[in-house]
Amino acid sequence: MTAQQQSYKTGVIYVLMAEFGWSLSGIFVRLMPGLDGWQINCWRGFWTGVFLLVILVALYGRETIAKFRLIPWVALVASAGFFAAGSTLYVTSLTLVSTATVSVIGATSPIFAGLLSPWVTGEKPGLTAWLSAALALSGVSIIAWEQLSVGNLIGIIICVGVPISFAGQTLSLRRYRNIDMVPAICVGGFLSFFAAGLLGFTAGHAAGGFEVSLRNVSLLCAMGLLQLAVPLLFYARGARSVPAVTLTLIVMLDAVLNPLWPWLVLGETPSQSDFIGGSIIIGAVMISIFGGRWIGRGARAAAG
């Protein structure tokens, strides 16, 4: 199915399904309390690459290698590089600044996507998109306000790389939306495996990020499939018909869904700020998805 054949509505559904999978990260992490970010990102990336490769072989068979070659080298390097860089920078930033700081800075991804999209994808975000981005950012700020810490300068600089990387990957998917970009994401999974594994030595592990028990490797196998590989497939498909800013805004629902599952499954009650900020984020995403169409209908009704 090409970008022209796929509807905007179908694309939004795919992205929502991707976000549902990504939001399961909190549940998986709580099942592996003895692991640090390097170990989790290392093996999660490995299994993501493996599962995506298996899926590609199942879909294309002997043409799988041709699908890798079909992607322009610039697109392959950009998509795989941004994926690996974003994962690695995210883990690094968590070791330098608070999780709240990472969340707030990470929420600026729609801003970067909006600023760069006119040059990368030819999409010019309208007033509705900018309003949605501002609302979503304020919602995340409310959630993180109680624990917000500016941290050190180096940590902040590294943390800024996280939303830039995610915006870059999203824009790469949008620019080359008429090509199956899953092979590039597959390469990114293996890159994050090696990057996190090697950087894990800085945490004092004898075998770097590769040092994980068999039990945890099994859990990370499930995490790689359910929390990353399958959602990435949906996200790549959704990117074919959904503008870049809306893509990144929908993903901000993670700030709402990620604490929701521990609440429902483990009884971890969210704070009042979680409910207030989450409501604002949901409203911002709704405006981003439907705002342009609401305005268009209103204009047509007024003209009629």
How far does CA 123 lie from the centroid of its chain?
20
Question: What are the residues whose beta carbons fall under 8 Å from the beta carbon of 67, sequence distance 6 or more?
Answer: 56, 60, 180, 183
Q: Residue 228: inside a domain, yes or no?
A: yes
With respect to residue 169, please indicate whether it lies within any of the assigned structural domains: yes
pLDDT at position 1 is 45
How deeply is 60 buried, as exposed, middle or buried, from its count of CB atoms within 10 A (0-12, 13-18, 19+)? middle
Residue 105 is assigned to a structural domain of this protein: yes
Q: Is the whole-model pTM more than 0.85?
A: no
Q: Within a 13 Å sphere around the CA of 231, how many CA atoms are in the beta-carbon half?
A: 19
Q: Is residue 29 part of a domain?
A: yes
d(CA 237, CA 6) in angstroms, rounded, equals 9
**Which residues are CB-neighbours of 30 under 8 A, at least 6 positions away?**
262, 266
Q: What is the pLDDT of residues 110-123, one digit of tens each?
A: 888 988 999 898 88
Sequence-separated (6 or more) residues with CB below 8 Å from residue 107: 136, 137, 140, 141, 163, 252, 255
Residue 248 CA to residue 133 CA, distance in Å, equals 9
Phi, then psi, of 82 in degrees rounded to 5: -65, -40
Residue 195 counted as domain residue: yes
Give the per-residue pLDDT at 45.
Answer: 95
How confident is the prediction along the chain (304 residues), in pLDDT tens digits per residue? 444 568 899 999 999 999 999 888 878 888 888 888 899 999 999 999 999 999 999 999 999 999 999 999 999 999 999 999 988 888 888 777 766 677 777 878 888 898 899 989 888 888 888 888 888 888 878 877 766 655 567 877 888 898 999 999 999 999 999 999 999 999 999 999 999 999 999 888 999 999 999 999 999 999 999 999 999 999 999 999 999 989 998 988 887 787 777 777 767 676 777 778 878 888 888 888 886 555 555 544 445 5
What residues make up the domain containing 238? Answer: 8-303
Side chain identity at residue 187, one-letter code: V
Q: In the chain, what's the furthest Cα-to-Cα distance? A: 72
Q: Is residue 175 part of a domain?
A: yes
Contact 199, 38 (CB under 8 A): yes
Q: What is the pLDDT of residue 299?
A: 46
Domain tally, the chain: 1
| Size (the chain), residues | 304
Residue 192, in any domain of the structure: yes
- With CA atoms as reference, report the closest residue to 104 among 162, 20, 154, 170: 162
Whether residue 1 is contained in a domain is answered as: no
Instruction: Give residue 197's pLDDT.
Output: 94
pLDDT in tens, 140-158: 788 777 666 555 678 778 8
Residue with tokens 């805004």: 249
CB atoms within 10 A of CB 48: 29
d(CA 143, CA 165): 23
Distance CA 174, CA 116 (A): 12
Burial annotation 169-199 (CB, 10 A radius, 16+ → b, else e): bbbbbbbbbebbbbbbbbbbbbbbbbbbbeb
